[in-house]
Amino acid sequence: MKDNQIQSIKAKQAQLYREFQAKFQVKFTRDKQTRPLEISAEQKRLLAWLQNEEAMCSLYLPLALHIFERFQEHIKAPQAAGCFMIGISGCQGSGKTTTVSIVKFLLEKFFGVDFWPNCGLTVLTASIDDFYLPKAERNRLGRAVHPLLKTRGVPGTHDTEKLLATFKKLRDKKQGQLHLPIFDKGLDERLASKRTVELPYDIFLFEGWCVAAKASSIEDLDSPINALERNFDSLKIWRNYINTRLEKEYYELFKQLDYLVAFVIDDFSWVYQWRRQQEESLPLERQMDALSLSTFMAHFERLTRQLLQTLPMDADLLISLNKDRTVKQLKAGRQQQR
């Protein structure tokens, strides 16, 4: 995708929003009258975002349209293989989860149905966070490899075997059921229950803070980046373990993505501020204090800083954010400019 294609998308924004608003209001009014008790808290949150004209015009509508157009190209390509796999990468608090929820809605209910009645797109969303290892397995890693691996988050603390199996099932595009894990961050534990979905799907939106992360050179790992690494990983065991995992199974996972969308920012300090805001939205008994949050965030600092450098070169589409998380610019990544 070239920058002129982005401009073309922007030119359609106002018209798209007017058309969307008209269709959305009719559908919402009808649904509210016929099923007034079926609107959940999550749906209410989604409805509020859908009526936010600035966010819809600056991000959600152009992104959904762009993905739909890339999907059309994908299915026409001779080498197309099953589900169109899209990675959504961005630092903590950048808005990935909200974006994915709204884009799924727009693809299925607006572009895929209202504009092209015969399409009927099916879209599956998942987060890499869903695939965190159970606490017992992370504790085992903490004893066998390094104590810092008890804390969820970094590469090496995900169930990559299950992730790779999930990707394969989506690629095969055969009928059947797919069982996705559910991770409760409040409990810091994978739940016994699963999310079961019916295959196949046309588009898979896979989001996560470390999606598309790459291994570093051994030399880059030498100097600790913060107090956590300096005080608790002086022998670089934790850093090297993460790096090895990125070099092996995470490389095999991320190379299967057909397209990469990345949220990028100008200043790493914004990440802590946004994560603090997320924490304050939780019930008081589940919130981390400032010191606990700072220590927790230190686990992610090295890879987050690295991704802020590499994503502009690796991504197909970049979403540049301001400090207040409004969209500064949508632009082609260097992957598409080459």
Mean pLDDT of all residues in 290-303: 91
- Residue of 172 and 41 predicted with greater confidence: 172
> pTM value?
0.87
Paired strand residues for 205: 86, 125
Tell me the pLDDT band of 306, cut-offs 50, 70 and 90: very high
Q: Is the peptide bond before 117 cis (omega within 30 degrees of 0)?
A: no
User: Containing domain of residue 160, as a range?
Assistant: 79-337
Instruction: Work out the pLDDT band at 120, boundaries 50, 70, 90.
Output: confident
- pLDDT confidence band for 332 (50 / 70 / 90): confident
Residue 293 pLDDT grade (very low, low, confident, very high; cuts 50, 70, 90): confident
| Strand pairing class (176-184; 189-199) | antiparallel
Nearest CA-CA partner of 24 in 123, 119, 114: 114
CB within 8 Å of 159: residues ≥ 6 apart: 131, 132, 133, 181
Which token pair is 105? 């809605």
- Whether 115 maps to a domain, the answer reads yes
Any domain includes 54:
no
Specify if 6 maps to a domain: no
Q: How far apart are CA 64 and CA 82, in angstroms?
A: 20
Instruction: Specify which of 46-50, 226-230, 330-334 reaches the highest per-range mean pLDDT.
Output: 226-230
Q: Give residue 117's pLDDT band: very low, low, confident or very high (50, 70, 90).
A: low
Cα 275 from Cα 297, distance rounded (Å): 9
Give the whole-angstrom CA distance, residue 82 versus residue 122. Answer: 13
Query: Kind and range of the H or E element at 64?
Result: helix 61-76
- Confidence label for 82 from pLDDT (cuts 50, 70 and 90): confident
Q: Quote the tokens at residue 48.
A: 């509020």
pLDDT band (50, 70, 90) for residue 22? low
Q: Which two tokens stand for residue 60?
A: 């959600």
Whether residue 69 is contained in a domain is answered as no
Q: What is the per-residue pLDDT for 36?
A: 45
Q: Confidence band (pLDDT; 50, 70, 90) for 26?
A: low
For the record, the structure tokens of 55 come out as 């966010």
Other Cβ atoms less than 10 A from the Cβ of 202: the count is: 20
Task: Report the half-sphere exposure of 293 (CA within 13 A, side-chain side).
Answer: 16
What is the structure's pLDDT at 55?
83
Q: Quickly state the pLDDT bin for 308 (edges 50, 70, 90).
A: very high
Token pair in block for residue 126: 């998942």
Which residue type occupies 264? V
177-199: average pLDDT: 94
**In contact, 240 and 248? CB cutoff 8 Å:** no
* Residue 107, in any domain of the structure: yes
Residue 157 scores a pLDDT above 90: yes
Please report the pLDDT score of residue 40 as a whole number: 56
Closest CA relative to residue 74, chosen from 82, 247, 133, 42: 82
Question: What is the mean pLDDT of the segment spanning 82-89?
Answer: 95
**Rg of the Cα atoms in the chain:** 20
**Is residue 109 a part of any domain in this protein?**
yes
Is the bond into 200 cis (omega within 30 degrees of 0)? yes
Tell me how far apart the alpha carbons of residues 297 and 280 are, in angstroms, rounded to a whole number. 15
CA distance 162 to 177: 14
Alpha carbons 338 and 334: distance in angstroms, whole number? 6
| Least confident stretch, 29-33, 152-156, 239-243, 307-311 | 29-33
Residue 184 forms part of a structural domain: yes
**What is the structure's pLDDT at 51?**
74
Buried b (16+ CB within 10 A) or exposed e, 273-288: ebbbeebeeeeeeeee
Which structure tokens are listed for 316?
């197909």
What's residue 37's pLDDT?
41
pLDDT for 39 equals 47
Mean pLDDT of the chain: 86
Starting at the edge strand found earlier in the chain, the sheet holding 203-208 runs 123-127, 203-208, 84-89, 259-264, 317-321, 327-332
Q: Is residue 72 part of a domain?
A: no
What are φ and ψ of residue 7, in 5° steps? -60, -40
What's the total number of domains in the chain? 1
The CATH number given to whatever domain includes residue 258 is: 3.40.50.300
Give the model's confidence band at 34: pLDDT under 50 very low, under 70 low, under 90 confident, else very high: very low
Give the Å distances, CA to CA, from 327 to 51, 94, 110. 17, 10, 22
Strands 327-332 and 203-208: unpaired
Q: Is the pLDDT of residue 138 over 50?
A: yes
Q: How many CB atoms lie within 10 A of CB 12?
A: 14
Give the least confident one: 58-62, 153-157, 164-168, 275-279: 275-279
